[in-house]
Amino acid sequence: MRNSLATAALSLLLAAGFAAPAAARGVYGWVEFVQLHLNGQPLKLKAKLDTGARSSSLDALDIEPFDRDGQPWVRFRVSLPGLEQSAVMEQPVVRHVRIKRHSGASDRRPVVRVSLCLGDEMRSIDVSLADRGRFIYPLLLGRKALAHVAVVDPGRTFMQDPNCESAPRAE
C-alpha cells in the first residue's frame, strides 16, 4: 500500500513537471541565433541560453554613462565577431545591478531594455552591459528572459532562426 501511494505521488509530481513546459512557445538549443534591436538597428548574434543564470548580459565595450534630460543613459558599442568597429549605441538605463563574482569581488553594471527576437517571439528584455570578451557568446539569456517562451534542450544548438515581425512583448 505504501509503495503504491509513493509511486502514485511520484507519478503526479513527474506529470506536473513534464506538463509545465507546455506553457512555453518553443524548444530551443542551448545556443541559438537571435536578433537584437538597438537604436532601430537589427543585430543578429549568437546567444547562450542559460537556465542557470537569472538575468541576461550583453557584451558591450566602451561603456560610458551620461545624463540626457536629467535621466541616466549609457553609450556603448556592441562587440560582434567579424566586425572591427560596431556602431555606437545609446540607451536609457533601466537600473543598475550588482553582480557577484566567484573571486568575491562584485561588479556594478548598467541595465538597458532591448527588443529581442528568439525564434518567432519578439519581446522586450533587460540586459546588463559588460565586457564579455573572454566568453564565446556575446549574449547570455537567463531564465527571466526565457520564462514562458522557451524550453531549452541542452543537447541541441541552432534549432530556430530569428523570424519576428510583431512588436515586442513585455518581459
Residue 159 lies in a domain: no
Q: What is the phi-psi region of residue 62: left when phi exceeds 0, alpha when psi lies from -120 to 50, beta otherwise?
A: left
Q: How many domains does the chain have?
A: 1
Q: CATH number of the domain that 42 lies in?
A: 2.40.70.10
pLDDT digits (tens, 9 = 90+) for 30-70: 999 999 988 777 888 999 999 999 999 999 999 999 999 99
> Nearest Cα to 170, choosing from 115, 124, 127?
124
- 58, amino acid identity: L
Q: How many CB atoms lie within 10 A of CB 169?
A: 13
Residue 69 lies in a domain: yes
Residue 118 lies in a domain: yes
Residue 31 lies in a domain: yes
Residue 57 lies in a domain: yes
Residue 171 lies in a domain: no
Residue 160 lies in a domain: no
Q: How many helices (H) and strands (E) does the chain have?
A: 2, 11
> How much is the pTM?
0.78
**Domain boundaries, position 44:** 25-153
Residue 19 lies in a domain: no
pLDDT digits (tens, 9 = 90+) for 126-150: 999 998 878 889 999 999 999 988 8
